[in-house]
Amino acid sequence: MTSTPSSASPHSQRVALVTGGSGGIGKAVVQRLAADGYALGIHFASNRSAADALVREVTDAGGQAIAVSGDVGDEADMIRAFDAVTHSLGGIDVVVNTAGIMLLSPIATLDLADLDRMHHTNIRGTFVVNQLAANRVRRGGAIINFSTSVTRTQFPAYGAYVASKAAVESLTLVLARELQGADITVNAVAPGPTATPLFLDGKDEATVAKLASAVPLGRLGEPEDIAETVAFLAGPGRWVNGQVIFANGGLA
């Protein structure tokens, strides 16, 4: 069942920019929002072929989409991306920031270069995207960031990654309150174990099975599960604001 985009926007077609939109959860979000009638800006960092293929998928189905590139932590890159979406699609109503990297290591042995890489993409990148979104998203719109359920489960080796995502949660809650009167909601989605290349990379079958069994619903999440939550926050979920939504099948 698809949801209807919010009637709060006076524009005939809603436009969404999805960072990290060429694969994993980002791709599922693009597909879900396209099904709801959104025009899409599909952002990618390096995989142009995947982004172009997704653009073709959306346009072949009768939708509108363009691919935009850039480093989310580089404000000049992201200004160009926001400008391209605005120029080609007429404006921006929803920004979904799925772009992120996850580098795992015990805190005691973490390569600090990996910490800096995650800080650049996960913290600075979220800040840059949110700063632009706060100034570009139209009334009736939504800003949706991505955290992780590991901020609550405290799995070993996730310390630096979780620290970056805890920063995303705090930024989200503050921005929601700073945008009082703008009629723009700001929320974060915190997925649990989800079957994406980012999550599965480096994990053996036993580890994956153990994580799946920890979920009361007895399986890993699928990207489409997370996309459903995003679609709700982007469209009909107008009374949900300044929240972190744990989309994790009940993982404690």
Q: 190-223 b/e with 16+ CB inside 10 Å = b?
A: bbbbbebeebeeeeeeeeeeebbebbeeeebbeb
For residues 89 and 58, what is the distance between their CA atoms, to the nearest angstrom? 14
If you count them, how many residues does the chain have? 252
Give the list of residues 6+ apart from residue 186 with CB closer than 8 angstroms, or none.
130, 142, 143, 144, 145, 172, 175, 176, 179, 241, 242
- DSSP secondary structure letter of residue 164: H
The residue annotated as part of the active site, out of 44, 146, 158, 161, is 161
158 in catalytic set: no
Query: Catalytic residue positions?
Result: 161
